[in-house]
Each structure stands twice: as C-alpha cells, then as structure tokens.
C-alpha cells in the first residue's frame, strides 16, 4: 500500500503548508500589531488618512488570496485522492467542511475588499479592525479544526498501513 501511504503523507505535508498560509493571514491582523496601530491612531490620527490600516488591509488581501489558492489546490487533491482510503461517507463529511471553510474564506475576502477605511472616525476604524480580527480568527479556527480531524483519521490509517 505504498501509494496510500504516499497520499496520506502528502495530505499531512500540505496541511503544514496551509498552516504557514494561516500564519501569514493571522500575522496581518495580530493583536500585537493591532495594539501598535491603535496607539499610533491615538497619537498621530488624522481623519481620512489611516495609512497603517490601509497597508494592513492590502497585506491581508494578499495573504487571503494565497490561502485561497492553496486551499483550492489542496481540497481538489484531497477530494480526488482520498475517497478510496476513506469511503464515501467520510468524504461527504470532508466536503461539507471544505464548503464551510471556503464560505468563511469568501466572507473574509469580501469583507477585506469591501471595507472602506478612508473617512472613517477612529472609533469606526477600531470597530472595523475588531470585526476583521474576529472574521479572520473564525476562519483560522475552522481550518485548524478541519486539519486536526483529517490528520487524526489519516494518522490512524497510516499506522494500519505501515503494520
């Protein structure tokens, strides 16, 4: 069963790559950075010129696009390669997770694209930032939980196949 083992190993390796993409997304809206931005906003805040938040928004959009592409490729591979190993019922559950993740990712991308920062008050900027952090946090949690469930199943199969 070397082909099955290779598939399992590849899926687990891809999960590590996706975690790297998640870190990139999360780092763009990290609490530490948010605190620094809020401090800067208090000191140097000029209505209609939220430069640091605009840069964060651009970084977030870029990171979300990278994550989107990585997930599409990964999910396509899983949905093609895993059915013989997992069976149709498990694959239906995995596809449901994939759909939920892609819906959350679409929401994050839409929010990032549609959010207009110019002309917002400091309180409105802080609200947008908190809202963005919540959406990104939820997305990251969904992906981590999904990867954890898959890895548990795949590691069990790997153990059986190796014996």
pLDDT score, position 51: 52
Q: Give how far the C-alpha of residue 145 lies from the chain's centroid of Cα atoms, to the nearest Å.
A: 11
pLDDT score, position 40: 46
pLDDT score, position 94: 96
Q: How many domains does the chain have?
A: 1
**Alpha carbons 142 and 120: distance in angstroms, whole number:** 30
Evaluate whether 109 touches 64 at the Cβ level (below 8 Å).
yes
Evaluate whether 78 touches 119 at the Cβ level (below 8 Å).
no
**Alpha carbons 92 and 98: distance in angstroms, whole number:** 10
pLDDT score, position 39: 44
Give CA separation, 145 vs 19, 38, 100, in Å. 11, 31, 12
pLDDT score, position 41: 42
Domain span at residue 56? 2-162
Q: How many CB atoms lie within 10 A of CB 132?
A: 21
Nearest partner of 53 among 36, 78, 74, judged by Cα: 36
- Per-run averaged pLDDT (10 residues), the chain, 163 residues: 84 89 75 42 43 74 91 95 94 97 95 82 82 89 94 94 89
State if pTM tops 0.85. no
Q: Rounded to a whole number, what is the largest CA-CA distance in the chain? A: 65
């Amino acid at each position: 069963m070397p082909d099955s083992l290779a598939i399992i190993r590849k899926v687990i390796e891809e999960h590590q790559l996706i975690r790297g993409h998640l870190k990139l997304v999360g780092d763009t809206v990290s609490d530490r950075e948010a605190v620094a931005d809020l401090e800067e906003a208090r000191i140097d805040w000029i209505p209609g010129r939220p430069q640091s938040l605009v840069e964060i928004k651009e970084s977030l959009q870029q990171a979300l696009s990278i994550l989107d592409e990585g997930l599409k490729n990964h999910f396509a591979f899983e949905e093609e390669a895993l059915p013989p190993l997992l069976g149709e019922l498990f694959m239906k559950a995995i596809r449901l997770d994939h759909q939920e993740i892609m819906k959350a990712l679409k929401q994050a991308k839409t929010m990032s694209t549609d959010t207009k920062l110019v002309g917002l008050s400091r309180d409105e900027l802080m609200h947008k930032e908190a809202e963005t952090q919540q959406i990104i946090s939820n997305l990251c949690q969904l992906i981590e939980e999904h990867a954890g469930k898959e890895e548990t199943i795949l590691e069990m199969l790997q153990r059986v196949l190796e014996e």
